[in-house]
């Protein structure tokens, strides 16, 4: 992350007169910012976490689809 974001309430015109945002915390997955003007809190995820979660969700959907196809193929078709 190269720069501290502006306050979301300031950008949307919701009552923050000056965007006084400071970083208040950081984890392996995200940064936590707080605006000391309006006391709002923003959580911004790190890029790798978002991409990894998208990949894991796609793999899970693919596995579920393969399991559905395997079950469908294993059923016997009876023509009457």
- 26: in domain: yes
**78 located within any domain:** no
Q: Which of 10, 52, 6, 8 is nearest to 30 (CA)?
A: 52
Contact 44, 1 (CB under 8 A): yes
pLDDT digit string, tens, across residues 33-63? 888 888 888 888 887 667 777 778 888 999 9
pLDDT of residue 65: 92
DSSP annotation of 37 reads T
Considering the domain boundaries, does residue 22 fall inside one? yes
**Domain count within the chain:** 1
**DSSP code for 9:** H
Residue the block writes with tokens 């945002």 = 21
């Amino acid at each position: 992350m190269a720069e501290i974001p502006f306050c979301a309430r300031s950008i949307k015109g919701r009552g923050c007169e000056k965007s006084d945002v400071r970083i208040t915390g950081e984890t392996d997955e995200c940064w936590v910012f707080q605006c000391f003007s309006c006391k709002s809190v923003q959580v911004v995820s790190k890029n790798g976490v978002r991409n990894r979660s998208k990949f894991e969700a796609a793999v899970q959907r693919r596995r579920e689809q393969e399991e559905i196809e395997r079950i469908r193929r294993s059923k016997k078709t009876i023509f009457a």
